[in-house]
A and B are shown apart, each in its own frame.
Chain A
Amino acid sequence: MMPETAGATMLLDDDVLQSTERDDLTVMVAGQGGDGSLTIIALLSKALLKRGYQIYRNSNIASRIKGGHAAAFMRASVVARGHLGDHIDILIAFDLEAVQQASPRLAPDAVVIYDSSREALPDGLVPASALLIPVPFSRLAVRDLRRDLFKNSLGFGLLGRIMGLEDDEVEAGLQRHFKKLTERQRQPNVRALREGQAFAGQAGLRDGRSVLRLPVLEEPEKRIFISGNHATAFGFMVAGGRFFAGYPITPATDVMDWLSRHFPSVGGVLLQAEDELAAINMAIGAALTGVRAMTASSGPGIALMGESIGHSGSAEIPLVVVDCQRAGPSTGMPTKPEQSDINMLTRGGNGDYPHIVLAPGNPQECFYYGALATNLAQLAQCPVLIALDAVCHDSFTVPAFELDRVEVEPGKRLSAEDVSKLEAYGRYEITEDGISPWAVPGTEGAMNLVTGNERDEWGRVSTQPRNRVAMVDKRSRKLESVRDRLPRAREWGDSNSAVGIVATGILESVITESLERLAGHGLHFHCHRPRTLWPLLGETVDFVNSHERVYVIEQSEGAQLAALLKSEGADAGKIRNVLKYDGLQFFTGELVAILLEKEGVS
């Protein structure tokens, strides 16, 4: 419904000023890059975090520095979610394109705040039942504050009134957000905020009257709000990670940026390399000396690193490699998520070599697996890869990490004194567990040779058949030695159901919400999320084989996860593929519809 206008502004009807209580809200703010969409979402998420809500945030930006269309999204809910709601409940649109983009997903009762400075909104884009509030943000900001830039603070002031947030709470949030600005820079933003509030007041949003209401919740536990990339880098650092080399690539650059901020305080060394080949080999060079080393990249960069990953598996060099998966192939869609590097991560490279692939599904797991990968690399002396999906750039509220749970595990390292007690020391000694004790360069009396060629126990290149078999078998045994340290799958849902779901990573969240709705249709599923992709644990194969049929839900056209399951012994006849590769994440409504159709429920 269009509000009635009173003079220069409009007056909202009593029937929309109902302060309707909400426990789950998806907000989109969009406009041209530089319009401040990300700032509004950041301000709003902080305000709602303070109110005790669970927040999930992602953004949809173009792959360019400035301009282009930018949209920021946030979901605030009482129940923790790791995906957006089906519908947009509140839209702040700085231009027409933003409304056009949001239009198909607007909730019937959406609140749409549209910057009417430039052009009028054509009919039909906003549902008739929605509340449309045209606000000339740009004109107001320029007229009263002399800069278009301040329209985001203005918008935030209006938004606060619509959502029933207290004015002082909103202003305190703004002050905190801009605390790094000088007082002179901050003041216009505060004025813009108040201007937004005044505008709201004229529309009837005053004296505690609002459109929506999000009651203050009791905070259940100590929580943090963090992205998967930050959490992974943090886990690496806490587990003693002290060397990183990388090459900029979306969406992995965050990992490098994060470490470059924190490494100087802990004696870590970071280098931006000339390409991915240099990056991973710098990390290998550092790892050779015993320092815990990591690199991070995305699909195209990981493809370049392929030979080196195999090399560190062969040469038995501990190394952590993070893959922030994005839509491929080749350059693909750099800013869009996918889970289509599974083939490359599990089966990539020439020859047979031991390696581990972990797949965390939320920032909490990113932290602990970042740490675990760092330790596992040392324990098994091999590359450990971390497969991130959209979890890499999306931020979630999660329970605060327990730093004490992370230990720095040295693995089989030898000091000069240890070596002096041995009769002989060879770098590649054949051992029962496949892991050879290791003295790093600089250790007196322990000189040794390291190579990616096949070699004897001394590290001397050898193609002797019996030695070859013994060495390959030794390396292969390493994975068995650490198998009990590999993360087991997470299972949830109805364990009595004959119908299973297998998915990895961030998809757990959308599947969980889908299950809640599918239960209303009488459908129940048993879910399994493998958290170690390589070696694939027997439990995942058993899960598939012990159900009548299993939906393998994944973000790849090639059904890479399903292929992995089949290749490791899962009954192909039981697997039903659910694939998405349009560059968007799954929506609950979409997944529910797919599963209803596939299960023959109309």
Chain B
Amino acid sequence: MTQTYQKAKPIWCAGCGHFGVQGAIQYAMAAADVSLHETLLLAGIGCSGTVQNNVGAYGYHAMHGRVLPTAIGASLANPDLTVIAAGGDGDGYAIGGGHLMHSLKRNPNLLYVVMNNGVYGLTKGQDSPTRAIPRAAPEEDPLDAMLLGLAIKSTTFLARGITTRSDQLNELMLKGLQHARSGRGMALVEVLSPCVTYNDTYPDWMHKVHDVDADPDYRNSDRGAAFMRVLELVQESVLPIGLIYHGSHPSLQDALLRDVPPAKALDPGRSEQTRQYYEGVLEAYGV
């Protein structure tokens, strides 16, 4: 067998939540029976932006904040690939925040995993968009991506897990992966993944989460009800976890590739039909 790259050992600190996130991704890939060579794992910049080195699939290290557009380009160009994008909350909600809402709006077939630790770890501890920032008064509120996702009417899969509840996290990741692979669109799985070095939120978050999966009154397929409930929780500084919302909406691939499947990468097509088409184009400019 041809030797390819050896999986790297994670660079994360002992106790980092990201180990659990990586574990969940690998669990989902195995449970969904996705082969490594058919998987493109793209990651952003930051501590989270190294996960692709550790899994053994095709890995791509995107520019800071640009993992989603890159993943969309790849997923459109080769719809047979399983595309998983991953990154931190700084990468996804700050520098890449603009792309997040447009990606959610487009609903491309991909799984996006956000490792939310509320801090810029690699640059040693600056505030991220999901951290409550103490100001004189009132504090600057953290951004909640589930609430954002619920507000966009074409989102189809929104979930949040926490690394301390690995069984639930694994199942959410698997469902998200299956959602994307079955062509239903984009699955956003945010994971509360504490940074033990710069923002150790384990003690805080463990008591602040509310598991909507275990809440018999929560309706995860009713966008309006889900929004109201998540908003209430967020206003009480509680972090909802579980499957926040799932619904259906045509995916980006449904919209763009339904009539015309993309040309194959190795053979962009010099068929007689293509050639005739080029000649027709040229002819139209003739004088």
Contacts and interface: CB of A to CB of B under 8 A. Distances in A.
Interface in A446-479: 446-453, 458-461
A282 B1 contact: no
B137 interface: no
Contact of B3 (A234, A413, A424, A461): A424
Given A281-B66, A285-B74, A425 B269 contact: no
A442 B77 CA distance: 12
A523 interface: no
Contact of A225 (B58, B68, B69, B285): B285
Interface string B253-287: 00011011111011011100011011101100111
B278 A238 contact: yes
Interface string B3-27: 1111010000000000000000000
A269 B256 contact: yes
Contacts of A69: none
A40 B202 CA distance: 72
A148 to B, nearest CB: 31
A278 B58 contact: no
Contacts of B263: 240, 242, 266-268, 291
Central interface residue in B53, B59, B69, by most chain A CB within 10 Å? B69
A165 interface: no
B37 A269 contact: no
A264 B73 contact: no
A79 interface: no
Contacts of B266: 290, 410, 413, 415, 440
Interface in A253-299: 262-269, 271, 273-275, 277-279, 281-293
Chain B residues touching A, range: 35 or more
B11 to A, nearest CB: 9
B98 interface: yes
A175 to B, nearest CB: 17
Contacts of B265: 289-291, 440
A306 to B, nearest CB: 11
B38 interface: yes
B73 A282 contact: yes
- Report whether over half of chain A's contact residues are helix, strand or loop; otherwise say mixed: mixed
Interface in B18-51: 36-40, 42, 50
A401 interface: yes
A154 B95 CA distance: 56
A207 interface: no
A222 B286 CA distance: 8
B81 A283 contact: no
A586 B222 CA distance: 64
A578 to B, nearest CB: 34
Contacts of A286: 73-74, 76-77
Interface string B60-95: 111101101111111111101100000000000000
B287 A225 contact: yes
A441 B78 contact: yes
Given A267-B261, A277-B66, A450 B1 contact: no
Contacts of B80: 442
Contacts of B39: 441
B57 interface: yes
B262 A450 contact: no
A50 interface: yes
A6 B182 CA distance: 80
A274 B56 CA distance: 32
Contact of B282 (A293, A397, A400): A400
B2 interface: yes
Nearest to B261: A267
Contacts of B59: 447-450, 459
Contacts of B5: 426, 447-449, 458-460
Nearest to A317: B60
A273 B73 CA distance: 10
A266 B2 contact: no
B70 A281 contact: yes
Contacts of B220: none
Given A281-B66, A403-B282, A289 B81 contact: yes
A308 B66 contact: yes
A430 to B, nearest CB: 15
B184 to A, nearest CB: 20
A282 B70 contact: yes
Contacts of B36: 447
A250 B72 CA distance: 25
A445 B260 contact: no
A308 B64 CA distance: 10
A390 to B, nearest CB: 19
B99 A278 contact: yes
A237 interface: yes
Interface string A43-85: 0001001100000000000000000000000000000000000
A419 B4 CA distance: 10
A288 B60 contact: yes
B178 interface: no
A354 B149 CA distance: 40
Contacts of A262: 277, 281
Contact of B287 (A49, A281, A423, A458): A49
Contacts of B270: 240, 408
B102 interface: yes
B52 interface: yes
A283 B71 CA distance: 10
Given A413-B266, A460-B8, A271 B53 contact: no
B61 A452 contact: yes
A100 interface: no
Contacts of A410: 266
Contacts of B77: 242-243, 269, 285-291, 293
Given A445-B4, A459-B5, A269 B69 contact: no
Contact of B69 (A268, A277, A292, A448): A277
B62 to A, nearest CB: 7
Contacts of A291: 77-78, 262-263, 265, 268
B212 to A, nearest CB: 30
A49 B285 CA distance: 11
A566 interface: no
Contact of B72 (A271, A446, A459): A271
Contacts of B256: 269, 271
Contact of B63 (A267, A281, A445): A281
Contacts of B287: 46, 49-50, 219, 223-225, 397
Contact of B269 (A267, A281, A311): A267
B275 A403 contact: yes
B262 A400 contact: no
A587 to B, nearest CB: 26
Contacts of A226: 285
Given A267-B269, A274-B102, 15 more contacts: A224-B286, A226-B285, A240-B269, A241-B268, A281-B70, A287-B73, A291-B263, A293-B73, A311-B63, A425-B3, A441-B39, A444-B37, A448-B58, A449-B61, A451-B61
Closest 6 CB pairs of A and B: A285-B73, A290-B265, A240-B268, A451-B61, A267-B263, A286-B77
29 contacts: A222-B286, A224-B287, A225-B285, A234-B281, A241-B268, A242-B263, A242-B269, A243-B73, A262-B281, A266-B269, A266-B274, A271-B256, A274-B99, A275-B98, A281-B66, A281-B70, A282-B73, A282-B76, A287-B73, A288-B74, A289-B77, A289-B78, A307-B63, A424-B4, A425-B3, A441-B39, A452-B61, A458-B4, A461-B53
